[in-house]
Amino acid sequence: MSRGDGLRNGEVAPGISERWLAQHPYVGGLLEEWPPERVRQVLDAVLELWGCLDLTTAIDWRWNPRLRTTAGRAVFLDMLIELNPLLLARHPEEMEGLLVHEAAHLVVQRLHGRQAPHGEHWKAYMRRAGQSTRATHQLDVRGLRRKRKARRARPRRATTKVEQLLRKLLQGGAGPR
């Protein structure tokens, strides 16, 4: 339920619950350095620079703690920017460039239709904002990858003497004498 400030009950920032933050206290510094007002100011400034002020109310953003090694992503249908709080807490200096990067995706999609994700239109917006046109990050993601569970081999079912005999017969083996 919205409280009028864009936060749902139990959230300390868009997409961040009190419980999650208690489990990841080092993210608190990022949230202090980048409160919602500052994120919105950066987005509004770049949209103004690009002559897209009409999109300021269309584009929304939130933290997404489920992201692992992706710094951020643009969700086109929702005109939403999702940001990785775990990775960005390690590299808060990347925030502004990342916001511009993801906003450029949404602007290109809205104004030019479906395009190559990091194609010429996107690069033009990035250059106009004075940002790098590099498409991927080289940030340290150690410890952020999802741990894969070891795949267990399916346990073999116990075979009966009859099944063993049938298997031998079908494979061309001789039966009991």
Residue ranges of E strands in the chain: 11-13, 16-17, 60-63, 72-75, 80-83
Residue 3 is predicted with a pLDDT of 31
Residues 6+ away with beta carbon under 8 Å from 2? 8
- This prediction has a pTM of 0.76
82 contacts 72 by C-beta, under 8 angstroms: yes
State which residues of the chain have pLDDT below 50. Answer: 1-4
State the Cα–Cα distance between residues 48 and 4, nearest whole angstrom: 25
Q: Angle at Cα 82 formed by Cα 17 and Cα 96, nearest 5°? A: 105
| Every domain of the chain and the residues it spans | 11-128
Query: Which CATH architecture best describes the domain 11-128?
Result: 2-Layer Sandwich (3.30)
132 contacts 96 by C-beta, under 8 angstroms: no
133-172 pLDDT tens trace: 988 887 777 777 666 666 666 666 667 888 888 888 888 7
Residue 88 is predicted with a pLDDT of 94
Residue 41 is predicted with a pLDDT of 97
Residue 63 is predicted with a pLDDT of 96
Residue 1 is predicted with a pLDDT of 31
State the Cα–Cα distance between residues 63 and 81, nearest whole angstrom: 8
